Structure 1
């Protein structure tokens, strides 16, 4: 058996994590140690915030038959969480194989050392540099930049070094996605069109009955006239104008007077929604 260097050790750790899903970590192990090749695949299923104790209790009670089937086909092992036990920290540990001292993610937020104000820990956002004004227009002479704050290499980047293909769907704490030729899609921590994390818009005819201020989004009062609602969906701020107006697009909702069904029309798209 050849000596195991740091990269191989990390890969072995990844294969151990894969045992949680299908118990196919041995295939990755054979590639790592230079043994026979195999076409079998490893699948890692990650669920944010899940409690392994409750998962086991509910599986024993027969409430999670799909998870029970998955465990019976493969394996199930508990993994120690991060310190502190917060989602961006834990996922960064998982992605890099390092603790917060290595990857630099300690919380949901970081402090700006120049202003001592909290900022999003996942990515560093820089606006465009020099700008020129022409009337009410603001034209940047260079583009802005969004830089991933997490340090270290992701495990799929290391797999790429060994020509092992991987596909990563909705990986938390990976926006913008780490440079790689692998197929990756970022997940939790990816900003929406207005630059926030999961901003919502709530439309209601009972606006005056809402007793509490709901954070994280906007509440819009609408009126139903002849089974139709006219509203607008707010979008990102127009930074190319000096007054920075909020962009929006119109939407129309047609309500079925008999059945709990509504048709939503927005631009050139139509959606049918049913109650429940």
Structure 2
């Protein structure tokens, strides 16, 4: 995920943020279609509608987030975007243990991201819209993973990103320099593979096994992972606040996960 983000940052010098997001979608679609070769049933009726909606919402989330980090510090944008999964987890919570886990995660994310009030209002708007799209991704992703349409979640991913690539094709206008550079094209495909194909495929596996609320809390590990990658790869030493934030996030995830395990691994808001 974060190697893909690094590739995206390199591309920002040559391509617009929304253009990079479209290239990410295109790269993911090409790889997934070549891998899965979805059957005809995946391209019509309800399976197509569900997959297409999921793909457009997911790609839109990426576009909004890239536009946000082009205007805001990365930490601020990440913190604002986490409003989405935290809200999903809050809606699915039933007990005090869940609430305590969510409070720990929220505090941890805020500390890691080092939320700032500085930044453009437009950037804040993009980040909040990305948060809403992320919430939609979680809800729709669960439906795609468990859909009884006869089409696998992986095939739906391929169809969804193909549809999103077409729907969002006007954004390709911001990718001009890529088509004359093999290196930039390779980076664009790399963003799609690392930031979309691998993590979203893993999401489909996880979403089959856990509920939306538990999945949303587990997503809070992302800023902790980002901090670790920054330390190991970029030499960015976390501050004391970030260190406390990592511990708070891990504690919240452990608290929520242990509750799910105690109930037999099933999230309370999800059917067997």
TM-score (norm 2): 0.26
Q: Which has the higher helix share?
A: 2
Over alpha carbons, which structure has the higher Rg? 1
Q: Which has the higher strand share?
A: 1
TM-score (norm 1): 0.26
